[in-house]
Amino acid sequence: MPRRKRFRIAVAGTAAVLLCTGAVAGCSADGSGTGSRSGSGAGRPAVPAKPVWDTSPGSVAAVGDSVTRAFDACTVLADCPEVSWATGTDTDVNSLALRLLGPGKVATHSWNLARTGARMAELPEQMTAAAAQRPELVTVMMGANDACRDRPDEMTPVDDFRTSFTTSLAALRKGAPKAQVYVSSLPDLKRLWSTGRVSPMGRQVWQLGICGAMLKDPQDLSAAAEQRRAAVRERVVAYNRVLKEVCAKDDRCRYDDGAVFGFAFEQPQLSPWDFFHPSRDGQARLADLAYRRITKP
């Protein structure tokens, strides 16, 4: 090949390589430019993905048991949903819904679907009802009644508890796929026993049959009684583990990381009628714990 022709070919090849190197879009290995065209947007700052969790949801549905219904918080043997930690309207409690929505929207944008005495097996039904409201946030506080049976051998098996909770989230997702879920841990029932047992009235009320597996014979410190209480506490710990594990599989679910279990309820936070359910003050503390977790970025 003549020297001049070889020189022209070399220059053309070098130019092609330089063009590919300087272009915004990529070229093929042989410099043919088979990659994306320049101007495709490569090199622009990436747009950050919108966070899945919204720290200011616009509506709240609450599911659960007597705690969410504020049982024994205002008067004996009665629900008092106006002081509920989740959806109450009492300004002293300053419920989660009141903090998130403001007083003008609590009545129209929040729903308390909990039922006193409910156990985890009922949660799928409650979740279906919650989904029908299309809420932006669902609060879950359920499971204490699964542990609070007359005897430890009557407590809900952990596998059944897991199945019911898993089914509950599936029921919610079927009707409200984008709803966020806040899951509260269960309180430490043994700590409640330790706090309430110092009250003569509390001990008397407990003998009527409240959470017998834990509270029966509150002054009995025998090995058998301690073993019974330990069994209940271990089951509560197992339930909380289930709540955490199942919630972790859902991008729109937040567990409270054991905040309620770890909270040291003192006598002012316990009902003056049963020394077990949260008082108004106790409901306010639950609202505060939930609000901190839900609004954390």
Q: Contact at 8 Å (CB) between 156 and 114? A: no
pLDDT of residue 19: 35
Judged against a pLDDT cut of 70, whether residue 49 lies above it is answered with no
Positive or negative: CA dihedral 278, 284, 285, 291 = positive
Q: Contact at 8 Å (CB) between 62 and 84? A: yes
Which residues fall within 8 angstroms of residue 22, CB to CB, at 6 or more apart?
A: none
Judged against a pLDDT cut of 90, whether residue 3 lies above it is answered with no
How far is the first Cα of the chain from the last one, in angstroms, to the nearest whole number? Answer: 70
Q: What is the pLDDT of residues 258-297, one digit of tens each?
A: 999 999 999 999 999 999 999 999 999 999 999 999 999 9
Q: Contact at 8 Å (CB) between 178 and 58? A: no
pLDDT of residue 160: 98
Q: What is the pLDDT of residues 160-199, one digit of tens each?
A: 999 999 999 999 999 999 999 999 999 999 999 999 999 9
Q: What is the pLDDT of residues 80-125, one digit of tens each?
A: 999 999 999 999 999 999 999 999 999 999 999 999 999 999 999 9
